[in-house]
Amino acid sequence: MKADAIVIGGGMVGAALAYGLRRQGLDTLMLDEGDVAFRAARGNFGLVWVQSKGFDCPEYAAWTRRSADLWPDFSDEIEELTGTGLQHQRPGGLHVCLSGAEFEDRTRQMRDLSERSGGAFRYEMLERRALDNLVPGLGPDVVGGSYSPLDGHANPLYLLRGLHAGFRALGGRVRLDARVTAIRRTGATYRLETGTGKLEAPKLVIAAGLGTKPLAAMLGMTAPIDPVRGQILVTERARPFLGMPLTWVRQTGEGSIMIGESREEVGFDDGTRWQVQARIADRARRIFPFLERARIVRTWGALRPYTPDGLPIYDRPPDGADAVVASCHSGVTLAAVHAGVLAPAIAEGRLPDDVGGLGTGRFHVH
């Protein structure tokens, strides 16, 4: 089977890039493992988040802001094309601090982020009294927090569904039974071997999440990507009370309350631990005491691809061939810029200047 471009990976990153390539008119084939894959989307909290991104990396901070700005039009486009609403809203977002020390640390981080952005990152540090006017029902442990009008949220599962539906609506092709066992380059063509046949295309994108490391090695590239487990709790539906997402708590479009934010290095174990769940629940209870009476109806663990420095990878093989490796753990936040900026650049045989500092070379500096 031949195509103009093959995208290995049908998760949040791969689907956004495949959708974007198809929008550019390329005959695009997306290889997706389906539900057997370690879907990072299962553990995505749904934040379209700017604050907290790129404290020590201005390129990543700017890349994140650009994606957040593109999200409204991107969401409208997906809904118009597929009928799938992504529940995207941009009411701003809040990071709550539960001690004076947390508030001081956060103040310093936000100031540094704003200074490094040249003022492009907008935020406010709010004392407790100001928070009470913004968010109802806060507990006595809350001392303040950081607010940014650039933040928002969306439904991650609707996003993944919308990207797949949009890709197909544009004429994109999907293979669900094609695990790649070998990649070879012959002249200007990449030839892929799978359990169900051979595939070829002049353009290749590897965006396979936790499967990226061994696939990148087939191109002579080192991609240090390892699993980090996150756990999420979801309560029963509640009356609407939270008009904006918080770092650890957000109310979904259906009314349920998502509680999360944990990181465990446990290999490829996507299970759960009650000790971690208890810690997540306790922080949420301290923020909103009424949650102590809310019933948890679902909890699960999911694996997310992480690099040693927590930043994305966007790179090309050392031989300069027309291939790209792309990986990140912020697939929802970056979906708009992946589809609208990165994919068009890949279609032209390049990477955008925006991601110049996010290659694999940063891991080999001594």
Position 366 pLDDT exceeds 50: no
Q: Against a cut of 0.75, is the pTM above it?
A: yes
Distance (Å, whole) CA 220 – CA 360: 12
Residue 38 is predicted with a pLDDT of 52
Position 142 pLDDT exceeds 70: yes
Position 35 pLDDT exceeds 80: no
- Between the alpha carbon of residue 81 and those of residues 23, 29, 169, the distances in Å are 12, 19, 7
Average pLDDT in the 338-364 region? 93
Using pLDDT thresholds of 50, 70 and 90, give the confidence band for residue 262.
confident
Residue 291 is predicted with a pLDDT of 92
Residue 105 is predicted with a pLDDT of 96
Pick one of 3.40.225.10, 3.40.190.10, 3.30.9.10, 3.40.50.300 as the CATH number of 226-306.
3.30.9.10
Residue 115 DSSP SS3: helix
Confirm if 261 and 231 have CB atoms less than 8 A apart.
no
- Between the alpha carbon of residue 96 and those of residues 21, 151, 195, 219, the distances in Å are 39, 14, 49, 43
- Between the alpha carbon of residue 349 and those of residues 6, 315, 334, the distances in Å are 14, 12, 20
Average pLDDT in the 329-350 region? 96
Residue 365 is predicted with a pLDDT of 47
Position 44 pLDDT exceeds 80: no
Segment 107-133, tens digit of pLDDT: 999 999 999 888 889 999 999 999 998
Segment 185-196, tens digit of pLDDT: 988 899 999 888
Confirm if 250 and 232 have CB atoms less than 8 A apart.
no
In this structure, of 30-44, 262-276, 296-310, the range with the lowest mean pLDDT score is 30-44
Confirm if 86 and 162 have CB atoms less than 8 A apart.
yes
Domain ranges for the chain, please list them.
5-82+156-223+309-364, 93-149, 226-306
Confirm if 245 and 33 have CB atoms less than 8 A apart.
no
Position 297 pLDDT exceeds 70: yes
- Between the alpha carbon of residue 56 and those of residues 52, 60, 110, 327, the distances in Å are 10, 9, 11, 19
Highest CATH level, class, for 5-82+156-223+309-364: alpha beta
Residue 36 is predicted with a pLDDT of 57
Nearest to 117 by CA among 169, 51, 174, 171: 51
- The whole-chain average pLDDT of the chain stands at 92
Nearest to 245 by CA among 114, 147, 141: 147
The count of other CB atoms within 10 Å of the CB of residue 73 is: 11
Residue 210 has which token pair? Answer: 């936790």
Confirm if 256 and 236 have CB atoms less than 8 A apart.
yes
Average pLDDT in the 332-358 region? 96
